[in-house]
Structures are given as C-alpha cells and as structure tokens.
Structure 1
C-alpha cells in the first residue's frame, strides 16, 4: 500500500472537522459572503467579534451562539481529547505503512501531538486547506494553521494550559524538530505553524536526505565481517539493542572506532548515519581555555540548525548517529548531540576530557579494539567471488598482510583495484591491490618526509648472504607481526606497540637506503625518508614536537619510515655538563619512550654504528650490517649497473673491480660518469670510460690515483 494512504485518510477526517468549524463560524457571521472578508474590518464584523469575545469570556457555562450545524466538540483538557481521538482511530482501522503512527510510537508522541502535527502539515499536502484556514484565521493571506486555530480544531479552549504547553520549545513537537512555531512577535494564538519539508517528505515515504546536511552525512556501511577477535563490539551491540546510549570510542589508530561502531550496530540490528564534522579552525595562540562558552560562540562551526537537522534525520529514520573523526574542539559538538532518544557513537584518538560534557552527562568511554592488519576475511568479502574478480591474486593473504585498513577503506581499495584491472584489461593481481591499498593509506607524512615509490626488487641488491637473509626476515616480521605479537600474545606489554624497528649500519654507498626501498617494495608500501631539516630545531622542545608529528602520522599510515643518517637524532647520551647536554639528553629520552609505543615500520641507517645509543639498540628488532664489498661483489655491482647501458663488445669491468675499492653507490656514480662521456661522443661505453669514472670517484674520496703516463 502507498505510504501516503493512511496520511491522506487522516486528512479526510481533519477536513470534516474543518468543515464543521467553518459551518459554525459562518452561521452567524454577517461578513461570511463578503468577497473582501479578511482584508478589512467592517462595523458588522467588529460587532460580531465583540459578541464572540463576550461568549468566550462568559466561560463554558455562558451563552453560546446557536449553530445550524454541529460544531467540533470542546474538551476541558488534553487527556479528554486524546481519549476521544483514540476512539476515533479505533473506529477507523487503517492498513498499510502508517508512517505517522510509527513515528509517534518511536518518539513517544501523544495523540494530541499527532493531531496538532496533522493540522499544521495539512496545507502542505492538500491545497484545499489553504482557503479554509484563511477563512478561519479571518485573514485570506494567512493560509497556514495558527496556534489558536490548531487548539480550536482539536476541541481545546484557547486558555487550556495543557494544550498551550504542547507548543513550548521544550515540548516534543518543537524539541524533536517536527514543528516550527513562526512569527514570534505576534500574539501567541496568532503565531503560524509549519512542518519542515523533510518531515512531510518522510511521512509521504520519501527518505531523501535533508539537503541541509550537505555531503557530510551518509549511511554507515555494514562491517564486511563480524569482529570475533574482540568481545567489546558484541557487548556494546547488546547494550545498544536495549536502548539509546552515548558512547565515546577512544581509538589508537584512526578508523578503529568507526570499525567498532559499525560492528556493534550490526549486532544491535540498527542502521546509522555517519556524520563527518567540519574541521575546526586552529585555536588562537593566546587562548588558555578552548572550551569556554565565549570560545564556543566564536569558533564552533557546526550550526545549531545543522545539528538539529542531523538529529531529526536520525529520529525520522529510527537510526543511530556515528561521528568520526571528531573536530579539534569536540566539546560543543558532543554537548549538542547529548540527547536521550538517539544512540550516538563518537570516535576519536584523543583521550576523553570531562570538560567536553561540562554540565551534561558523560558518555560511556571505551577503548576501541585495534583493527587487524591484513584481515583476510574482510578483503575476501570486499573483493567478492573469484568469478567477479577475475580469479584474484593467488597469495591474497601475503599481499594484504601489511595493510591496516578499516572496512570502508578496504571496500574502496578493492573497488579501485578492480577498476585498475579492468582498465588494463587484465586479471586482478597483487600489484593492483597494493597500489589501491597505498592510495587509501595516503597521509600527511609528505609534510615531514620525502616520499619514494619503490621501483626496485630483490634482484637489484648485491649483498652477502647474511645481510640478505636479515632483510628477508625483516619483511617476514612486518607481515606477521599481528599474528605473533597480537594473536600469540608475545607483545612485551606496558603499552608497547607492534612496530618493527631495524638498524642498517655500514659505510656510505653499501646499499642501506636501496635495501630499505627493496623492503618497502616487497611489502607493497611507500617509503618515507625523514628530512632532518624538518625535524631538528634550535628551540628547546621543538625537535620532540616535530618527531611526535612524524611518529603519530606514521602510526596511522601504512608505510615504511626511514631515518637516514640516524645518528644525528638517535645519538648517544652524554654526561651533563651544561644546559645544552641536558636538553640533548631529553630528546634521546623522548625517542626511547616513543619507539616503545610505535606501531609502524621504522628503519634507521648510520655510517657509524658506535654512535647509536645502546638503549636504542636494545629496542631494535634487527641490526643489519652492510659490509664493504669484496672484489667479486664489486664485479657483480659493475655488471648490474651496466645491464641497461649500451657498451662496446667485449667490455670488461673486471679490471676496475679489482683495482678500485669502491662501494656500490660509488660504482653506480662511476658508471653514470662513463655513460655521460659516451653519450657526448654518440658512441657506446668503453673500458676507458669506465676507467675515467672510477678515477673520478677515487679523487672525490681524496684517494691517490696514478695518472695516464704511469698507466695503472
């Protein structure tokens, strides 16, 4: 049945009441047939109004004008009217989707509230009510119901305290955003009543979202899989099923709270609206208290109208509200959402501050469980069946293991990977998934570090077996840390994170940075090289703040963080001889504490391992030593560098490998010098070009080189 049918049937009964009231008014009205009635006040109309006023002042026992047609019944109080209205409803049962009835039950509206709401919205549904209301208002231009007319149509006297209380701002109709009382400068009984368009549309079966909310509200997607590894969503879901609740979910990583809220609401069987607030503007530098009422008035961006529209939308749909992420100053928003009839779940990374709810009831504060890295079930559900994904990668678990994405980001990454595969007209592969997952994990790290998109493989490394095995172990630890440290409970506790930390030590040019790029490529992650110029600051305490920003951003990003020349930041603590030594030691102490709670992947490189503080070394998972290459490795490095360079037939880099003790980085520079020389001649690279490049690198290092006259 059409959702509007029950509502239209109610309007038919209302029209009967309006007709009886019109008949009662026109029976003794000398101006009833005047075409200009309502535009001016004639003497006859004035005398008629005086008679009506005298009758009203005489009270219920005074004289009443005789009416040829029966008028609406007048009740002494609201309870008596509700009894009669309930009897009328029972006499006319209706089928179908009666949204007005379901809304009244859900919001706890009385029968009188429903009748008043019906009187107010009638002109928005049927134009026939407009001239009738204009006649009853004694003003042809006022075609909406007024407070006085609504009370009269409900059979209540204008002086009824119970009836007038229904229009109080704190009464359900106004407080819930269902009814607007306009024209506050007019006398109370003459104030017009209107129903928001969104409420009318809902009652007619249209659930199009209120345009006031813009693009900041959308339906919360159901979780891809039910969280079984943590009991908190189950308990929270059962509590939400019992009744509305306001909850603050403290998350360690952005997205944890949203995933927990979605899982709990799925258990409760409730739908939800996901609201993303506007970003708050930064606080003034001289502001001591950012949560004062004055600050609220000056800085709060979510208008009361917008929050009221959000709560009204949730009430109309009978769903919860999920807010994530929170703005910089969440207090005003949380206080505005502190209602008792709508479940509200808020998620943020900041610890709960009681000042946020100053004067209001505190929410239930819970720690959201961590999202599992590489949740295979969630990725499989997002990708769908093998037929829909073109088969998918064979090792899906290994591909997605490094990524700590929430349900919505997994959906978007899966969709983007499928679109990439379709664009290339190829089956879905691990490379498609890695690229899409990296896009979903983009962050603000580029403000503090240089981003490198890895374009190398293990074949680009020329290393002895021992450091190469350590690098493979590093990739293995990064993939399976969730299982070992989480599921198998091998985390040391004490608030320690599940990060992977490694130190690459060796001479310059031995392949430390290249190895970091290879590990990042193996994991399918971007590499961020921290710029020391953006970290070290001459002012006390600023270096720690800069490092905290980097670590915080790295915690919420799936990436590999590289501190090149790490001894500049992670150097040994020294004996305190002056204030400079004291504050330098404070920086090291901060780093020691921060590494304990780090959840990401961080690599440190140094040319002088002895300069790294022993306390840092203890916290490292791996220390990889990069030895200086011997003659055989140098020859392999020369050949690898020349692999794509046009060379003359029979070129032999073996002599340069034996005679020049160069590291891999210097060998590559020598090949670049030789390639430029050959390109300038328009010829292929020769042995002489290689010799020139090797001699150039020796001279750059300050080492002696025999000239051409003396040969080698």
Structure 2
C-alpha cells in the first residue's frame, strides 16, 4: 500500500482521497432517493453492490495511508497535510527517476502562478481524477446516469463542488474566456450537448506535469526547445554599454510578463542577447521557431501556439520567438496577451501595424569581434594558451556564444582527425563553417588557398595590403570602442579599391587578404546584379549587402567600374536611373559593416564620391623586369624544369603581367607533359609568344626562335 502511494505521490493522493469522500456522499445521497435502485436492469450500468465495492476499503488503496482524510470542502492542498508516521507531505513526497517531487505542490504552485481560484483548482482536480485512478470512471458513470460517460461533466463538477447549476458565476468557470480553458488547462468537450452534460478533459501534458514529468509536448518536437545560454562561456562584453543594456533588459524581464521586440543586425545576435539577459534575470526560457512547426499561420495560431503557451506556463518559462514569420502581426498580437514574458527576435524594423499594444522595442547590441576569453574557455586552453595567437586568429569572427562552442568543438574534431593539436588553421576552418551564408546565390565562393608568399609586389602595395588586413581585425576597437566612426549611421566596414592593369594580381591579392583573415572570398557576379528593369539592380545589390553584413566573409566586386562608375549629366532617363543606382550604392557603402574590395582596370572610371569613402586605394603597377623574373620563378616553383632553363631571359624579352606569365607557364607545362620531358626555355618562350598573340601584340624576334 505504501509503495503505491509513494509511486503516485502522497500529496496528490490526499486530495484524491478527499474527493473520493465527496463522491461517496453524492452516490449515497442519490441512491437513497433513486426509484430505480432496485430495478433489475440497473446492473446494465452499475449495481449498488458494485458501488459499495468501489467505495469499500478493499478497493481504496488510500485507506491504509490516509485514515483521517478531511472532506472535500476542506481540501486546500496544504503541503503540510499529515500522513502516517508523523511526516508531512512536503517531507515525504518524492518520485523516483529524478523527476520533481510533490505533484500536489506543483498543482498549488501552478494555481498561485496562474491566479486560479480555489474553485478552479477543485474543478481541475475533479476533471483530473479519472486520469489518475481508474476507479473514478465507473463512479462518474454512475453519477452521470450513463455508464459510457466515464469522465466528469460540467454538471457533475458543480454537484461535487456543492454549487447550484443555475448559478451564473459557477457556470462562468467553464466559459472559453475563463482561466481554466483560456490557459489550456481544461477542455470542455461536446459543445453540441446541453451545458450540464458536456465532458471535461484535462490535457495529457498537464497530467504528466503534475506527476513530475517535464517532457515537452510531443506535438512541439522540432519547433520548441529549451533555450540554454552557454553557461560554460563568459558572456561577450565588448563595452560597458553592452553590459548596461543586458542588465537593463534583465531587470525588465525579471519583474513580470512583458513583450519585448529585439531587432538584430545579424542573424543570431538577438538570440544571444536575449539568452544573456534571461540568464542574468534568472528566468528560464523556451525557444520557439514558428517555421519549424510546418503549419500555416491559422493552424499555427489555433493549435500550435496554445500548446507553446501552455508549456511555458507549466514550466514557468519565458518564450523567445525567432525567426519571425513573414507576417508577424497575428502572432505578436496573440503573444502580447499571453501573460508570460515574451522576447521576439527579428531583423526587420518594428511596424506599429503589427499590434495595437506595442511591445518594448529595442535594438540588440552588435557583438564584438574576437571574444578571446570565450574562445579560450571553449577550446579548453590552459594557462599557456592554445599554442598560437588566439586573439589574431579569432579577431575577424562575430559569433555568438553557442556558435563559439560549436566552432571550438568542430576545431577539436578536425585536429583529432589530423592527429595533431588544435591549430589556427583548424579554428579558422571551423569558424567559417559556422558563418553560413546566402551569398552563394549571388556570388562565387572561393576558399582561399594562397598566402603572402604567393604575392610578387613592390613594397608599397604589399604594405597597404597588410594594413588592410590590420584594419579588418581592429575596426570594432578603433571605430566602435574608441568612437572614431564618422557617425550618421555609418557602419564599421572596411572598403578597399585595387586598381591596375589586367593580370597585375588584384584578385589574387584579395584572396590573400581573405586567407590572412581566415575568411571566405565571395566574388560578385555582375551578371547577377545588373538588370535592365528600373530598380532591380538596387534590389539585387541590397540582397548582397544584407547577406554580407550577416556573414564573416570578404566581398569582391571584380571589374567594379561596371557598377561603381562615374555619374554623368542627365540627358535622358537612362542617365537618371544610372545616377540613382550610384546614389544608392554611396548610401549603402556608408552603412556597410563587412569587408568589401573593388577591383578595376581603369581607376579614372570610378566615381570620386566612391573613392572618398574607401579606406585604402592600392595601385598595382605593371611589373618591371626584376619582378617579371620573380613571377616566372614563382610560377615554375613546382614544375619539373630542365637544368639549363633561363626564365630570366624570357622575362627580359617579354613584358607581361603576372596573370599572363602564369598562363604562359601553363602552356609550357602542357607542352612538356606531352613530350614526357621537363620544361625548357623554348617551352617558356612559346608560351610567352602565345600570350602576346592572344593580346594582339607583336612577338619580339618573330621567326628567330
């Protein structure tokens, strides 16, 4: 007997025992005046002997445990109700398996938290009884005068509570707007039946919760999960203002239900900020993803959202919604009246048309690049550090706490696969994987596989490229922390222009800069941007800039004069719209937060207004004879060559840029591979001559080779 009571939880059984006493009183009262009590057909639904058997001590496992149970009218659910042995319910109630103890205490806490009246609690317990004890089913069938109706009805609940059926205040407890039904704790079924014979059902999720099971509703799998802030990592704190924002938001969320709309600049920023504030406020949260529910908006609001709200109420959690649906207005209106703390996260500016009662609208602070402490903790680096310059390695990445943990875990897996300790290369590759991008729809991605040693340039442009990488690493500190941004909504982007003849190394240099920063290079396809229809070019550019703002990557506009050309005097509508495109680009570049590089063969074609907004203009000169010799030798570094090969002579004879020299070496290599022999000087000369002919130039000493 004791085992049964413990397994079901003593405290809840106290209330059930008291309810049983009240049911017994009602059964006896009805049978005393029932003219069909001796009817031989009475057994079709329930006999008096069966009733007495159900109410007898042999069928009531609570009797040995609760000998002095009070009547139902005294059932207050006190956690200190006495049980045998002198132990209070609060001390003796425990459920095995690690689940929370004292479901009755859960019922009382739920009633207090949701401001349920004692009558509401009694009605809930009456409806709940058949789900906890099967012996209530035939008793309810007897009292309902229908053996098939084995759940409580509205009329039976009123009878058990001692309330007349005509009392309006009592009937109102079952109204759709009443707390029990509005909060999703009770369902009044069969609306086509007369009011008093409508069945009452308690959702299985509520029953499980009261018994100590916090397994989420199975219908919400995939769309709702616990929002766990990365407690193992220090929260990113780039500045006192960031800390102050988090503290103020935490204070707001801690005082009670309030709807907050966090507008994020990059995807994930708002979620990290919300998790940090909720963690600081000591408030647990559930992350709801409407799109993952896979339901149209009407079904989402009528079926999925009530389950989400019920889950939050049962577990005393806030709700964080991200990302928002395309039309967030109906969802926002429903959540505003939910009575639980709600944080909505989205990239769009708040529209007052979404909701009549405006939420608290805030801009999520932008995370600081680097977060060295968080990276160090995630990597598990000791006092000596990870063995490489961690600060320089992670400086370009703006990842939230969860992304940092995932990147660190991926880096360790890559290192384990290679059988080496974690290196900067492992960390950069893992971080790039966490910076998923939609840019591939508009640009060609290049995974950099080059380095500074692959560049053959004069000292000045080489130093400017190093400075460009330096600016990209420290832009948040200089422009943000040190407040050297020009203001006016200007972003923290880094913009550079590479000008020079074709083949002088502009694209290669962009790839080297991306490799130095540990970022991917996205080469924008101009054919996917320029559109003959008015306004479409600007839309395409906006998509690219928006994605680039959200991605840790280097954006390259090759042959940029096609888009960033000079504005001209307006003579017709074409000139007008071309100037509008340029004006849009000027404004968009100022608010850009990423790294963008432009290349052009004709610097004079770039509008001066664009040039003024650039951080650096790097001129790539045509290589002289010494540089050409170095380019030839660099291109031949991995090619089998004849012992008497003389690339210096070819370098003096042919004036070509680095791109043409590489093409000439490729031609020579194919010729040598076809012969099955090393590359000779003659092969190099033939390759160089081919490049001259392609360019329409006269080959030096044609016919003398």
Taking structure 1 as the reference length, what is the TM-score of the superposition? 0.88
Superposed CA deviations along residues 239-262 of structure 1, whole A, max 9, x for unmatched, are 221111101111222222112211
Question: CA, structure 1 residues 41+129, in 2 after alignment: closer, same or farther (shift >3 Å)?
Answer: closer
- How far residue 378 of structure 1 moved from its aligned partner, in angstroms, is 2.4
Secondary structure of 1:302's aligned partner: helix
CA distance in 1 between counterparts of 2:579 and 2:299 reads 42
Counterpart of 1:368?
364
CA distance in 2 between counterparts of 1:522 and 1:222 reads 31
- More moved, 465-474 vs 226-235: 226-235
Counterpart of 1:94?
89
CA distance in 1 between counterparts of 2:226 and 2:159 reads 41
Counterpart of 1:383?
379
Counterpart of 1:58?
none
Secondary structure of 2:300's aligned partner: coil
Counterpart of 2:438?
444
Contact 2:31 2:37 in 1 (8 A): yes
CA distance in 2 between counterparts of 1:129 and 1:342 reads 34
Secondary structure of 1:584's aligned partner: helix
Counterpart of 1:174?
181
Superposed CA deviations along residues 216-249 of structure 1, whole A, max 9, x for unmatched, are 1111122533454221111111122111110111
Q: Residue 232 of structure 1 is aligned with which of 223, 238, 245?
A: 245
- How far residue 277 of structure 1 moved from its aligned partner, in angstroms, is 1.5
Q: Residue 14 of structure 2 is aligned with which of 6, 9, 19?
A: 9
CA distance in 2 between counterparts of 1:334 and 1:426 reads 50
Counterpart of 1:687?
681
CA distance in 2 between counterparts of 1:355 and 1:83 reads 50
CA distance in 1 between counterparts of 2:186 and 2:413 reads 47
- How far residue 160 of structure 1 moved from its aligned partner, in angstroms, is 2.1
Counterpart of 1:77?
none
Secondary structure of 1:278's aligned partner: helix
Counterpart of 2:307?
309
- State how 1:44-443 maps to structure 2 within 5 Å: 84-86=74-76, 92=82, 94-95=89-90, 96=93, 97=102, 98-223=105-230, 224-226=233-235, 228=237, 229=239, 230=242, 231-278=244-291, 300=298, 302-357=300-355, 360-386=356-382, 392-443=386-437
CA distance in 1 between counterparts of 2:379 and 2:689 reads 56
Contact 2:412 2:422 in 1 (8 A): yes
Question: CA, structure 1 residues 683+178, in 2 after alignment: closer, same or farther (shift >3 Å)?
Answer: same
Superposed CA deviations along residues 367-421 of structure 1, whole A, max 9, x for unmatched, are 111111111222233334539xx96342111111101112222222122222222
Contact 2:45 2:147 in 1 (8 A): no
Contact 1:280 1:300 in 2 (8 A): no
- How far residue 82 of structure 1 moved from its aligned partner, in angstroms, is 10
- More moved, 692-701 vs 421-430: 421-430
- How far residue 88 of structure 1 moved from its aligned partner, in angstroms, is 8.1
**Structure 2, unaligned stretches of length 5 or more?**
1-5, 48-70, 83-87, 94-101
Q: Residue 625 of structure 2 is aligned with which of 626, 631, 645?
A: 631
Secondary structure of 1:561's aligned partner: strand
Superposed CA deviations along residues 544-581 of structure 1, whole A, max 9, x for unmatched, are 01000000010000000000000000000111111111
Question: CA, structure 1 residues 301+507, in 2 after alignment: closer, same or farther (shift >3 Å)?
Answer: farther
CA distance in 1 between counterparts of 2:120 and 2:498 reads 73
Superposed CA RMSD in Å reads: 2.3
Counterpart of 1:480?
474
CA distance in 1 between counterparts of 2:582 and 2:597 reads 17
Question: CA, structure 1 residues 270+192, in 2 after alignment: closer, same or farther (shift >3 Å)?
Answer: same
**Structure 1, unaligned stretches of length 5 or more?**
43-80, 282-296
Contact 1:525 1:559 in 2 (8 A): yes
Q: Residue 25 of structure 2 is aligned with which of 20, 27, 30?
A: 20
What is the aligned length? 654
Structure 1 position 665 matched with structure 2 position 643? no
Superposed CA deviations along residues 26-58 of structure 1, whole A, max 9, x for unmatched, are 23334446675485899xxxxxxxxxxxxxxxx
- How far residue 429 of structure 1 moved from its aligned partner, in angstroms, is 1.6
Question: CA, structure 1 residues 87+238, in 2 after alignment: closer, same or farther (shift >3 Å)?
Answer: closer
- How far residue 336 of structure 1 moved from its aligned partner, in angstroms, is 1.7
Counterpart of 1:74?
none
Superposed CA deviations along residues 176-206 of structure 1, whole A, max 9, x for unmatched, are 1000111111111101011111111111111
- How far residue 86 of structure 1 moved from its aligned partner, in angstroms, is 3.9
CA distance in 2 between counterparts of 1:238 and 1:398 reads 35
Counterpart of 2:589?
595
Counterpart of 2:599?
605
Structure 1 position 491 matched with structure 2 position 475? no
- How far residue 328 of structure 1 moved from its aligned partner, in angstroms, is 1.4
Superposed CA deviations along residues 512-570 of structure 1, whole A, max 9, x for unmatched, are 00000011011110000000000000011110010000000100000000000000000
Contact 2:222 2:292 in 1 (8 A): no
Secondary structure of 1:435's aligned partner: helix
